[in-house]
Amino acid sequence: MDSQTTVKHQIESIPCIHLPVTNLERSVEFWTGNFDCTFGDEYQPETKMASVRIENGDWIFLYEVEKVPTAPSFKGGTLNNSDNDQVFAATLNVKNPQELFENLKEHGVRLGQLREAWTGHAFDCYDPDGHKFNIWGGEWIESE
């Protein structure tokens, strides 16, 4: 290889996230019941692990642990389009954030404020273990 050649190793996607959870059954119900996730592999609770898939086929892996690590806080204060400084575990893109917000609210899920964000709407959503997710829906526009 020529010493002047630069090889780029760009990330093409993030096909899965891995979450520690304290109660596997409760977390499975959260993801399958609220977000229509399906099992990626046969669900065997005795393994203390579950894999669920979202609509586009990406994965969420749930691992039962004794204690979930403390949620990290952003030193710069409140995050953009958020209610506080807790760092997001991930941003989840949805088709109708307003409708999902109301549905989750009716089911007692801990939520932040629904707000206009970029080209759509967003809100904070917390799973049963306190992982914070940025739920966002809108038109994705790449900046030039």
The pLDDT assigned to 7 comes to 77
So what's the pLDDT on residue 144? 67
pLDDT tens per residue, range 93-117: 999 999 999 999 999 999 999 999 9
Beta-carbon contacts of residue 73 (< 8 Å; ≥ 6 apart): 85, 86, 87
What's phi and psi for 73, nearest 5 deg? -115, 140
DSSP 119: T
Report which of 52, 24, 50 is spatially closest to residue 38, judged by C-alpha positions.
52
Instruction: Band the pLDDT of 3: cuts 50, 70, 90.
Output: low
Mean pLDDT for the chain?
A: 94
For CA atoms 43, 49, 51, 52, give the dihedral sign: positive
- Report all structural domains of the chain as residue ranges with CATH numbers, in order of start: 14-67 (3.10.180.10), 70-144 (3.10.180.10)
Query: CA 16, CA 132: separation in Å to the nearest integer?
Result: 16
d(CA 65, CA 68): 7
Band (pLDDT 50/70/90 cuts) for residue 8 is confident
